[in-house]
Amino acid sequence: MTASDIIASIPAPTEDIDLDARGEAYRADAILRDRRSYFAANCPRAYLDFDPDFPAIQRNRPQINQVGKWQFGAVGILASGETALGKTRSMFALCRRLMCDEGRDVAIWHAKDWFSELQANVRYGNDEAASFVKRTAERPILFIDDYGQEAILRNREEWATGWFFRMLDMRIGNQLPVLMTTNLTARQMAEGGRDVTGSPLVRRLLELAEPVKFL
């Protein structure tokens, strides 16, 4: 029997197969698997499982619920407070929902790593940070964990702050949210205790994120 005979003997499908729809389904599944892998690789192991009923964090249950119910929009969340109150765990739980359940594109950065990567873009005296900052600014959702713990070389503080502000301004212009955790108070973020309302950083963050104070 020839190949043509074999092909001719195969029964015709009873209905047309929508190859475009099937291809789109495969693509969506691949994206979801990729984002689940990215989350697992970037979430600290201690935060992979989150129990909102854990007794030690119940005094912040309203704040935890507020974080957990966040829906994608132009305004994100700025979770602040001391350590061990549940803010970082609840934020990673939110990222799990956004990435692993909803398949959304979320960039996860620890503040130390973001600023370290930023400073690595100064090569042979040339400032090559623009493309890195632009990529960060264009991600649909940006999560920056533990802002205020980053290490910046003293001779690059103003330079790094300028690029960070540029990234925030681009996200404001694109109406893209920022999710952020910090141990700093608003006054501490206001450049060494200056008037909070006049702080360029605080004003930008309030445009990008709703404050949620963990107590």
Please check whether residue 125 lies inside any domain of the structure.
Answer: yes
Domain extent, residue 106, equals 74-215
Q: Give whole-number Cα distances, 71 to 74, 156, 175, in Å.
A: 10, 36, 14
Residues 60 and 85 sit within 8 Å (Cβ to Cβ): yes
Of residues 30 and 194, more confidently modeled = 30
Answer yes or no: are the C-beta atoms of 204 and 77 closer than 8 Å.
no
Instruction: Determine the distance from the C-alpha atom of residue 153 to the mean position of all C-alpha atoms in its chain, rounded to a whole number.
Output: 25
Please indicate, yes or no, if residue 26 is contained in any of the structural domains: no
- The reply to whether 101 falls in a domain is yes
Number of compact structural domains in the chain: 1
Instruction: Give the strand order in the sheet containing 76-80.
Output: 106-110, 141-147, 178-182, 76-80, 209-213
210 assigned to some structural domain:
yes
**pLDDT of 43-83, one tens digit each?**
988 888 888 888 888 899 999 999 999 999 999 999 999 98
Q: Is residue 123 part of a domain?
A: yes
User: Which CATH number fits the domain that encloses residue 104?
Assistant: 3.40.50.300
pTM of the model: 0.81
User: Does any domain span residue 15?
Assistant: no
